[in-house]
Amino acid sequence: MGLVDGYYGPVSDDQADRAVGQALDLGINLFDTADSYGSGEGERRLGHALTGRRDQVFLATKFGLLTEPGSDRVVDGRPGIVRSRAEDSLRRLGTDTIDLFQLHRIDPQVPVEDTVGAMAELVGEGKVRYVGLSEANPEQLRRAMLTHPVVSVQSEYSLFERGVEGGVLAGCVRFGYGLLAFAPLGKGLLTGKLQQVRDFDQGDLRSKLPRFGGEHLRRNQELVAALTASADQLSITTAQLALAWLLSRSPAVVPIPGSTSAAHLAENAAAADLDLPAEVISSIESAITAESVSGDRYPAGWRLPRG
């Protein structure tokens, strides 16, 4: 997502190319994008950066979220649009097959079975290997599964966002599908590297998010300071501790951090080898609870359906 402008500041074609190349060189082999990131630009940049190396990766994309201003619908999961969305993504990604095709949000106006049924047709044709959902609740997942096997759910999951612990994570463990934990670094907050008081540029998504504003940001940074103290004791970084905590939750959890920096990519990749002592896990879980996080995840009035 951060490979295009409008999320975490401006990114050039070259920067995006370099970041993907560096990630590949580190052995990172799962890439997640969406047709909505930069209205297709994210897929185009990722496809370009993977030229000649497509067979080294598991390529995931998403469809269904509408970003055009003024549109009545925020999500479009109508079965009739699924094929053309996939074909557009294939073209931009420069590939014949999408490894994981995900519905970005469940369309409240369309039964999830209908959308998943149309996605399943693409599996039969070889355009898609696996079907996934994003931000689905346990009931939506159960219904989708009756239509076609769903191999993964993508949901926001981090020390700062624990909603999946209400049922989605247990479902993933029980039925054996993966939980792709998005924004695993709390959109940068859980790295401890955001400045104390920071006015985000208007081109930065975080300028609109409650957790990053004024008093909320200050309180949240106090929570992160406790994480940094634990990380220092282990001689690892705050970001590595945040990722290792996620990996300790279950083998079903696959964090998908975003980065455009070679140093951050290497740091994040190294977190996969960490095994946290039980006392560290319980200490950070007492320091940061779902209730202690200050500010909502999205501003009031955002029309994104919630899982």
Q: Which is nearer to ligand NAP, 171 or 188 (CB)?
A: 188
Q: Is 177 left (phi over 0), alpha (psi -120 to 50) or beta?
A: beta
Q: From the candidates 37, 130, 157, 177, which is the catalytic residue? A: 37
Q: Which is nearer to ligand NAP, 85 or 187 (CB)?
A: 187
Q: Shortest approach of ligand NAP to residue 207 CB, angstroms? A: 13
In sequence order, the β-bridge partners of residue 270 are none
Q: Shortest approach of ligand NAP to residue 27 CB, angstroms? A: 16
By beta-carbon distance, which residue lies closest to ligand NAP? 258
Q: Which is nearer to ligand NAP, 198 or 282 (CB)?
A: 198
Active-site residue, 157 included = no
Q: Which is nearer to ligand NAP, 1 or 217 (CB)?
A: 1
Q: Shortest approach of ligand NAP to residue 184 CB, angstroms? A: 5
Cα angle, residue 83 at apex, residues 79 and 87 outer, rounded to 5° = 155
Q: Shortest approach of ligand NAP to residue 124 CB, angstroms? A: 25
Q: Which is nearer to ligand NAP, 177 or 182 (CB)?
A: 182
Residues that bind ligand NAP (CB under 6 A): 1-2, 8, 32, 104, 134-135, 154, 182-188, 191, 193, 239, 256-261, 264, 267-268
Q: Which is nearer to ligand NAP, 106 or 282 (CB)?
A: 106
CB neighbours of 244 closer than 8 A, spacing ≥ 6? Answer: 236, 271, 274, 275, 276
Q: Which residues are catalytic?
A: 37
